[in-house]
Amino acid sequence: MTRARVILLVCLAAVVAAALLVPVLRDELAWYWAESQDQAGDYMRYLSDWPKGHHANEAKTRYELRQWAATKRALILQAYQQSLRTNSPDNDPAYRNERRLRREVLFWRQATNANTIISFEDYLRQYPKGQFAAKARAQIAILQREAPPVNTPAP
């Protein structure tokens, strides 16, 4: 055999080997990429490119696991949001009533701290039938009696 024939046979063997190995290498590289990213979309891309690849079954399994995990997260979020809507304190009449009473008490304290006719009238405008309405009216009467008379200029 001549040297040229040996080189030709080696080159031909290399081309045949490369032609046979290239799809396997591409399959392995695609799988390596999908596995390294570990996302449902990457596994799906591997399956669409290599439906009969060496890792097709594992890719299907991992895709389904990632899909289930995403679905589970979405369901948990939905349940949490539903829980917030139905278990909101604003939906509880006792809570709303207590909150209204606390606001009234705060408004009453502000009125008594100011101790002016205007502050008590403001309280009565806000809470005309409030728990301190009678006290507010009595305090207004006291303050009106104690107030110095207003001098009006003579015409």
Q: Are residues 80 and 113 both part of a single domain?
A: no
Q: Which residues of 4-32 are buried (b: 16+ CB within 10 A; e: fewer)?
A: eeeeeeeeeeeeeeeeeeeeeeebeebbe
Which residue would you say has higher pLDDT here, 116 or 150?
A: 116
Question: Quick check: is 3 in a domain?
Answer: no
Residue 139 and residue 109 in one domain: yes
pTM exceeds 0.85, yes or no: no
Q: Which of 86, 110, 126 finishes a domain?
A: 86
Residue 9 identity? L
Distance, CA of 58 to CA of 43 (rounded, Å)? 9
Instruction: Report if residue 4 sits inside a domain.
Output: no
Structural domain range at position 65? 23-86
Q: What is the pLDDT of residues 90-138, one digit of tens each?
A: 677 888 889 899 999 999 999 999 999 999 999 999 999 999 999 999 9
Structural domains in the chain (count): 2
Mean pLDDT score, 59-69: 92
What are the start-end ranges of the H helices in 38-116?
Answer: 40-49, 56-86, 93-114
pLDDT at residue 59, as a whole number? 92
Query: Is residue 33 located within the same domain as residue 77?
Result: yes
Same domain, 38 and 81: yes
Handedness of CA 16, 19, 23, 24 (dihedral sign): positive
pLDDT, tens digit, for every residue of 8-62? 888 888 777 665 557 777 888 888 889 999 888 999 999 999 899 889 999 999 9
